[in-house]
């Protein structure tokens, strides 16, 4: 598993970096893991959700950028974020979405539990599951999201995009609900736990170099009103 250096950037750069990681990574058969941070607070929302619904919910001073993955509205005001790409040759690529979420969040939970954080996977409901629109993702835990085991508050969630290149998982951890967590230690522990779950030891690699046309075109996509306001 290739572990990229932690990057700090704005919402447009971060979302374009995740799609480049999926579609244009120089070693497409490698699992790749990208921890990243936000140079400016921002919100993102799912690829199939309406701009007009979420823009009024976000304070005017914060940018709102459409992700290439699903889900609803996510606040990036105080979270720890990552992108993971599982190539199409990997066994987990062929699994259903819930299995992929479970595998990644089990690793994430293991890394937090190593510091004594009270977290667990959110269980699937019994019987028929009522449909809920993906509004604010932080307010409701879906099956296999990560929640606190003491009070049930959601601490981590993720969204996916699957294509012929692989499976992209964009995930976040809400830091205010995890008082006392050492985030530098967590980043290392999470990469180690992911490597165990995915049967691929983590190896630190340099920032990938992309074709300039792909790099500029992907950035322009996420910066454009045509993308962000298309629905």
Answer whether residue 124 is part of any domain: no
Residue positions counted in the chain: 231
Neighbours of 19 (CB within 10 A): 21
* Residues pairing with 148 in the sheet: 119
3-state helix, strand, coil in the chain (%, to 5): 35, 25, 40
Q: Report DSSP state, residue 73.
A: B
Answer whether residue 125 is part of any domain: no
Answer whether residue 165 is part of any domain: yes
- As for how many domains the chain has, the answer is 1
Global confidence as pTM = 0.93
Residue 116 has what pLDDT?
Answer: 98
Three-class secondary structure of residue 67 per DSSP: coil
Q: Domain range spanning residue 30?
A: 2-117+140-228
Residue 71 has what pLDDT?
Answer: 93
pLDDT digits (tens), the chain, 231 positions: 999 999 999 999 999 999 999 999 999 999 999 999 999 999 999 999 999 999 999 999 999 999 999 999 999 999 999 999 999 999 999 999 999 999 999 999 999 999 999 999 998 765 544 444 455 555 567 788 999 999 999 999 999 999 999 999 999 999 999 999 999 999 999 999 999 999 999 999 999 999 999 999 999 999 999 999 999
Answer whether residue 122 is part of any domain: no
38 closest CA partner among 7, 72, 84, 4: 7
Answer whether residue 130 is part of any domain: no
Q: Cα-flanking dihedrals φ and ψ of residue 98, to 5°?
A: -65, -35
CATH classification of the domain holding 68? 3.30.930.10
Q: DSSP assignment of 102-147, as one string?
A: HHHHHHHHHHHHTTT--EEEPPPPSSSPPP----BGGGSPPTT-EE
* Residues pairing with 167 in the sheet: 86, 162
Kindly state the helix (H) or strand (E) to which residue 218 belongs, with its residue range: helix 212-223
Answer whether residue 105 is part of any domain: yes
């Amino acid at each position: 598993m290739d572990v990229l250096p932690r990057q700090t950037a704005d919402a447009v750069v971060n979302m374009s970096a995740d799609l480049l990681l999926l579609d244009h990574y120089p070693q497409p058969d490698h699992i790749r893991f990208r921890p990243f941070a936000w140079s400016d607070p921002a919100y993102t929302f799912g690829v199939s959700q309406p701009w007009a619904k979420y823009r009024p919910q976000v304070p005017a001073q914060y940018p709102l950028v459409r992700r290439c993955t699903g889900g609803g509205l996510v606040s990036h005001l105080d979270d720890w974020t990552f992108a993971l790409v599982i190539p199409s040759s990997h066994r987990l690529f062929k699994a259903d979405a819930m299995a992929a979420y479970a595998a990644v969040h089990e690793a994430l939970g293991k890394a937090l539990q190593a510091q004594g954080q009270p977290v667990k996977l959110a269980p699937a409901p019994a019987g028929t599951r009522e449909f809920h629109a993906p509004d604010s993702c932080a307010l409701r835990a879906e099956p296999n999201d990560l929640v606190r085991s003491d009070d049930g508050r959601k601490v981590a969630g993720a969204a996916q995009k699957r294509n012929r290149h692989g499976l992209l998982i964009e995930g976040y951890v809400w830091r205010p609900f995890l008082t006392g967590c050492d985030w530098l230690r967590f980043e290392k522990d999470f990469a180690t736990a992911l490597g165990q779950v995915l049967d691929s030891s983590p190896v630190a690699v340099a920032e990938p170099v992309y074709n300039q046309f792909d790099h500029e075109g992907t950035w322009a996509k996420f910066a454009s009103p045509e993308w962000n306001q298309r629905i």
